[in-house]
Amino acid sequence: MAPEQITLYTAKICPYAQRTEIALAEVGATFKRYEIDLANKPEWYAPKVNPASKVPAIAYGGPDVAPEDASPDSIKLAESLILVEFIADLYPSSNILPADPVLRAKARFFIEIASSKFISNWMKFASGNPEVTHTTLLNGVDAIQDILPDGAKYAIGDQYSIADIAFTPFWARLMLVLQKGIGAYKVEERESFLKAIEEPKFTKFNGYVQRLLERQSFKSTFHEDIVEAVFRRRLGVPK
Ligand SMILES: N[C@@H](CCC(=O)N[C@@H](CS)C(=O)NCC(=O)O)C(=O)O
């Protein structure tokens, strides 16, 4: 069955939204993209598209209407990880969610580890929460590296998958703020992290994230200038 129309409500700044954009790029889907200004959300967005008033969200199927005019006859879906799996299910031959039950479980396990050990911490670090130090971030990196398969390109093997998609936008944003010196962390914390991450013990992880950032679907959906400008405004610079 051919997929029906997809309208994606998204925001360039948002790492969760970027997950869905990477997935759509990977599967080669045609879709309408609508940028939501998170600082000034349209009044129709929550009542017509996503009651939680967050991006990303998808309107699926229904009549061909303008994104501002979402039809009650389309299916409204939200939550980035659910959307990424939905996109994978619409395009099974893309293999971003492999058919093999073991690989599916491995992908979901990787997402669980990346979420609990890294994704939950990176913004706390960037916004200067003293409970999250460079050591906390390195422990997260360690946990991820531990479950990366040896000698493979990506999180569950040589096949790029939802696991890689779920993690990349967050790693990219952390590296951007650290490299540009944006964030409310202490200067020493930044230096300690950047020095430690270069250590040989992280060689496997560094090879992995380099491949993630080189992926065309990531590059074409990462708007570095916008992310930098918004974070500069929101997070300031280290003390
Ligand atoms: N758990 C959600 C999180 C989405 C989320 O937090 N999105 C943020 C932007 S990154 C948002 O839309 N926040 C609402 C707002 O800023 O008003 C998901 O995975 O999709």
| 89 part of a folded domain | yes
| 51 part of a folded domain | yes
| 34 part of a folded domain | yes
| 157 part of a folded domain | yes
| 171 part of a folded domain | yes
Task: Tell me, yes or no, whether 228 and 114 share the same domain.
Answer: yes
Judge if the beta carbon of residue 16 lies within 6 A of ligand 1.
Answer: yes
Q: Whose CA is nearest to atom 14 of ligand 1?
A: 54
CB 33 within 8 A of CB 8: yes
Task: Tell me, yes or no, whether 76 and 187 share the same domain.
Answer: no
Among 16, 49, 112, which is best to mutate for testing ligand 1, by the most ligand atoms less than 8 A from CB? 16
Domain interval for residue 208: 101-235
pLDDT at position 156: 98
| 122 part of a folded domain | yes
Residue with tokens 């990477």: 22
pLDDT at position 81: 98
User: The domain that contains 15 carries what CATH number?
Assistant: 3.40.30.10
Q: 79, 94, 109 — which closes off a domain?
A: 94
pLDDT at position 43: 98
User: Residues 109, 113, 118, CA angle at the centre, nearest 5°?
Assistant: 150
Residue with tokens 């491995």: 106
Which of 108, 111, 138 has the alpha carbon at shortest distance from 199? 138
Task: Tell me, yes or no, whether 124 and 226 share the same domain.
Answer: yes
Task: Tell me, yes or no, whether 77 and 116 share the same domain.
Answer: no
Task: Tell me, yes or no, whether 131 and 89 share the same domain.
Answer: no
How many structural domains does the chain have?
2
Q: Whose CA is nearest to atom 2 of ligand 1?
A: 79
Judge if the beta carbon of residue 120 lies within 6 A of ligand 1.
Answer: no
Task: Tell me, yes or no, whether 88 and 121 share the same domain.
Answer: no
User: The domain that contains 224 carries what CATH number?
Assistant: 1.20.1050.10
Task: Tell me, yes or no, whether 57 and 143 share the same domain.
Answer: no
Instruction: Quote the ligand 1 centre to 84 CA distance (angstroms).
Output: 15
Task: Tell me, yes or no, whether 106 and 164 share the same domain.
Answer: yes
pLDDT along the chain (239 residues), means of 10: 92 98 98 98 98 98 96 98 98 98 98 98 96 97 98 98 98 97 94 97 98 98 97 86
pLDDT at position 188: 95
pLDDT at position 236: 86
pLDDT at position 37: 98
* Closest ligand 1 atom to 53 CA: 14
In Å, how far from its chain's centre is CA 168?
5
Q: 94, 119, 153 — which closes off a domain?
A: 94
Judge if the beta carbon of residue 142 lies within 6 A of ligand 1.
Answer: no
* Closest ligand 1 atom to 41 CA: 17
Ramachandran bin of 176, using left for φ above 0, alpha for ψ from -120 to 50, beta for the remaining angles? alpha
Give the whole-angstrom CA distance, residue 5 versus residue 123.
34
Task: Tell me, yes or no, whether 127 and 58 share the same domain.
Answer: no
pLDDT at position 92: 97
Give the whole-angstrom CA distance, residue 208 versus residue 108.
18
- Indicate the angle between helix axes 80-90 and 15-27, nearest 10 degrees: 0
At 19, give phi and psi (nearest 5°).
-55, -45
Task: Tell me, yes or no, whether 87 and 138 share the same domain.
Answer: no
| 59 part of a folded domain | yes
| 1 part of a folded domain | no
Task: Tell me, yes or no, whether 134 and 81 share the same domain.
Answer: no
* Closest ligand 1 atom to 38 CA: 16
Q: 40, 66, 94 — which closes off a domain?
A: 94
pLDDT at position 83: 98
* Closest ligand 1 atom to 15 CA: 10
Judge if the beta carbon of residue 79 lies within 6 A of ligand 1.
Answer: yes
Task: Tell me, yes or no, whether 119 and 193 share the same domain.
Answer: yes
